[in-house]
Structure 1
Amino acid sequence: MCRPLLALLVCGALLSGSSVAVRAAPGPVVRGYAYGEHPRQTVTEYGTKGPALVILHGGYWAEDTDWSDWAGWFAERGFRVYDTDYRLNSDAPWDAQRVDALAALRWVADRNGGVRPLLLGSSAGGQIATVAGTYGAGASRVRGVVALSPVATPYRAWVDGARDGADRNQRRLRREAARLAGCDPDRDGRRCWDRWADMAARTHASGAEDAPMFLVHSAEDFVPAAHAHDLAFAQRVAGGTDTRLRVVPGAAHGAKLLDDDGVRRSVLRWLREHA
């Protein structure tokens, strides 16, 4: 939960309810905060000025992944970055993760004079980010969403993970999606189906009320671009016009997509255009 860059100093501040500033020379000033009472409801802030950018990490909804390097990278390019943790599927089933994301977005907006933040989510965090951008009036809380390899339709991951030839990542994604839902859609009835539908961003697509989105996958991603196509199609049907989908060569997933110079520049440009 606490990033290696911050070591014990910031973690101790989070546990005590206070904040502390450190500087990883020559990087940005870094501070840790809590936005709720659960130990995982924390944000790590990078930088002191610029448009607010909230990052939701991936990890199959089951583990933390380290975004400290990329958080610092975006901070050095003019953003005030909030690397955000949320309850995992071992802590609570859906919709606790959406509740946490919305609470973090409100906290960040309050800290920035009420200005809506940008949102970047990766993999499982991309699912949460796309739901945050479509649930209710998503545009009222988020200026724009970048999602890298978003698991935008978890039921699709459930199906793909059972196919012949599914790789270990897809099989694990199936298991963790079921743990997130807290039920088996093949045997647990209508209430379970309703939860799986609620986890899909396309269910909430409402067109003009949704945040603008930039969705990125690789052509051989173990979370296929079909997830983003599902969402983009639902947005078009609902009358939305500001959802962009990009598929790049290779098999990079999540944060690894940013290793590609073209992807990195296009994400940065999109964020600046929507800041």
Structure 2
Amino acid sequence: MSFTAALLVVVTLAFPSAPAGPRTTVVSYGTQSMDVLAGASGRRPGIFLVHGGWWSEGDKSALSAVAARFADLGYAVFNLNYRLSGAARWPAQRDDTLRAVAYARRHAARFRFDPGRYALVGFSAGGHIAASAAVHRSGPRGLRGVLAFSPVTSPHLAFDAGGRLGRSAVALAGCRPRRCPWVWRSMEVAAHAGPGSPPMVFYHSAREFVPPEHSLPLQPFAEVRVVPGTAHSTRLYGRPSVARSAEEWLASIM
């Protein structure tokens, strides 16, 4: 089944669905921008989407269909950009995500968004960024949880694996692990997660190029769900059984 078709999976959530096709507004925060699909009325729980792309490419347009899906499920949706590694080294990507959340919370009334009920949802490299933002210091206020698909939660493992993923991790850090170990430690999600971290659920395919071993060190602070196959990132979310269980989990924490 294609990803577009998978978005049609029907899931019962804990709050009424918004009308389909909400208007998208582009807003700027810092040097970046995000697409906002505001709640239809009242104060809706929020979803912040963080795109993938090796930390070095892509933008929010990659998740436009996902944003529409979550808006139709009744969320206020914030589909954000962040500085890519070619323009800024780590932790710029994490910091941009935190700025997007702070901006949305400051303007919650405008976006009909409940600033005390939201989740970060990331894909591949975006999953790493979302999880890193959640475990940075005490995490942003109001965060209910993190959902990630194929998150590169361990750039060290990416480096060890080599290939494009390893080169991308080096480009993100701006140096190899022996040259700047403190930067690499700051990028490791497991090095900062603990009992006070928000709930996190990470999905990996058993045989994808970002294997479950990236996220397993986060147990017991995160739930790692491994499914058969090789699907990665949005393709993994596009599997109906994965979409259903992920969306049910989000509804349960809101």
Q: TM-score range by the shorter chain?
A: 0.7 to 0.9
1:218 alignment partner, one of 184, 205, 225? 205
Structure 2 unaligned spans of 5+: 1-18, 110-114
- Percent same amino acid among aligned pairs? 38
Which of 169, 182, 186 is 1:194 aligned to? 182
Structure 1 residues 141 and 182: alpha-carbon distance in aligned structure 2, compared to 1, 3 A threshold: farther
- Give the length in aligned residue pairs: 226
Query: What is the aligned partner in structure 2 of residue 154 from structure 1?
Result: 155
Deviation per CA, 1:101-144, whole angstroms, max 9, x where unpaired?
11111112222254252110111000011111111112635211
CA deviations 1:15-53 (Å, max 9, x no partner) are xxxxxxxxxx962211100011x2xx1110124242110
What are the Cα deviations for residues 163-213 of structure 1, in whole angstroms up to 9, with x where unaligned?
xxxxxxxx1111111011000124x2xxx1110010011111121x21110
Structure 1 or 2: more strand by fraction? 2
Matched to 2:37, the amino acid is: Y
Superposition RMSD in Å: 1.6
The counterpart of 1:248, out of the listed 206, 227, 244, is 227
Q: 1:211 to 1:26 in 2, by over 3 A?
A: closer
TM-score, normalization by structure 2: 0.85
Q: 1 CA distance for matches of 2:245 and 2:38?
A: 22
Q: Retained in 2: the 8 A contact 1:178–1:184?
A: yes
Bigger relative contact order, structure 1 or 2 (CA pairs below 8 A, ≥6 apart): 2
Match in the other structure for 1:5 = none
* Higher Cα Rg, which structure: 1
Q: Which amino acid aligns with 1:31?
A: T
Higher helix share: 1
TM-score normalized with structure 1 length: 0.78
Q: Supply the distance in 1 between the matched residues of 2:102 and 2:217 (Cα, whole angstroms).
A: 28
- Which of 235, 241, 247 is the matching residue for 1:262? 241
Say whether 1:44 aligns with 2:35: yes
- Rounded to whole Å, the distance in 1 between the matches of 2:209 and 2:247 is 24
Are the equivalent residues in 2 in contact too, given 1:108–1:117 (CA < 8 A)?
no
Structure 1 residue aligned with 2:66, among 57, 63, 70? Answer: 70
Q: State the partner residue of 2:15.
A: none
